[in-house]
Amino acid sequence: MYDMKALYQAKSVADAVELRMAHPEAQIIAGGSDVLVQMREGKRAGKELISIYGLDELRGVSLEADGTLRIGSLTSFSHITRDPLIQKYINVLGEAVDQVGGPQIRNIGTIGGNTCNGVTSADSASTLHAWDAVVELTGPEGKRLQPINDFYLRAGKVDIREGELQTAILIPEESYRNCFGHYIKYAMRNAMDIATLGTSVNVRLSPDKKTVERARVAFGVAGPVPLRAETAERLAAGQPVSYELAEAFAQAVKEDINPRDSWRAARDFRMHIAVESAKRAFIESVKLAGGEL
């Protein structure tokens, strides 16, 4: 049994916003893979819940007129992995969320829930940062767009304001067109484990595949929130493709990350695997883009 004060079922996004305004202390629940576990642990005992799970308008992946890739916040991890648009334009996101939990979690867990938790270890978070994702929030004043870098405020806290709920994740065309990426999750086990460190890299190469036009690298668990290593990105831009560049790119990530000591891993070890995984993910991204090292 779950100790809850009340459960409200939203009939539409507008209804969800009204419920949020009427019950400001209520918790939004989608798949429930986090909220219900926390409730059973007593962390959210006695809470009011607003369920948005029945809002099919928030499910699915689509391509907007301006080329923006739109991922509804209730789209499950399993659907993201299998979606043809994801596979065509940003396959690395499908690969990343396919490493969340087990099949049951991936079938019910949503991209919105994964990001709204605000945890730095979320498998989707580093890839969404690396692809310049924008968060769409809908509230009493209408829609608000927030770059994902600004959406994460601090550990466990995201920028969702009074009456708002997250309705989509947007990937601008400029962020995915001709870009190829790779995600590496380091964990103590190969399955059903939280990331000790997550690394997502993507590159865009010149038409002749010999020069890096643009590079992105983002990490989970390398700081209190997911973050980009912009020093490494600037270093790689405009440089000839080479193993030497891959090594320099990887070493440069140390300028921007700040992992912590925890029972899962020591800070120095996280720093080491951040450098190594950045190098490996950069090399793999270049190869996926058609480059040769």
Residues whose CB is less than 8 angstroms from the CB of residue 161 and which lie 6 or more positions away in sequence, other chains included:
137, 139, 144
pTM score above 0.85:
yes
CA 223, 228, 234, 239 torsion: positive or negative? Answer: positive
Pairing relationship of beta strands 165-171 and 157-158 according to DSSP bridges: unpaired
The kind and range of the H/E element at 67 are: none
Q: With the C-alpha atoms ordered 200, 205, 211, 216, is the resulting torsion angle positive or negative? A: negative
Query: H or E segment at 180?
Result: strand 180-186
Query: Amino acid identity of 150?
Result: D
DSSP line for 84-140: HHHHHH-HHHHHHHTTSS-HHHHHH-BHHHHHHT--TT-TTHHHHHHTT-EEEEEET
Domains of the chain, with CATH numbers? 4-50 (3.30.43), 60-174 (3.30.465.10), 180-288 (3.30.390.50)
Three-state secondary structure string covering 137-160: EEECCEEEEEEHHHHEEECCEECC
Residuewise pLDDT in 10s, the chain (293 residues): 577 788 899 999 999 999 999 999 998 888 777 777 677 766 767 788 999 999 999 999 999 999 999 999 999 999 999 999 999 999 999 999 998 878 788 888 899 999 998 888 888 999 999 999 999 999 999 999 999 999 999 998 999 999 999 999 999 999 999 999 999 999 887 767 788 999 999 999 999 999 999 999 999 999 999 999 999 999 999 999 999 999 999 999 999 999 988 888 899 999 999 999 999 999 999 999 999 99
Question: Of the candidates 123, 176, 170, 174, which has an alpha carbon nearest to the alpha carbon of residue 151?
Answer: 170
Residue 42: CB atoms within 10 A of its CB come to: 9
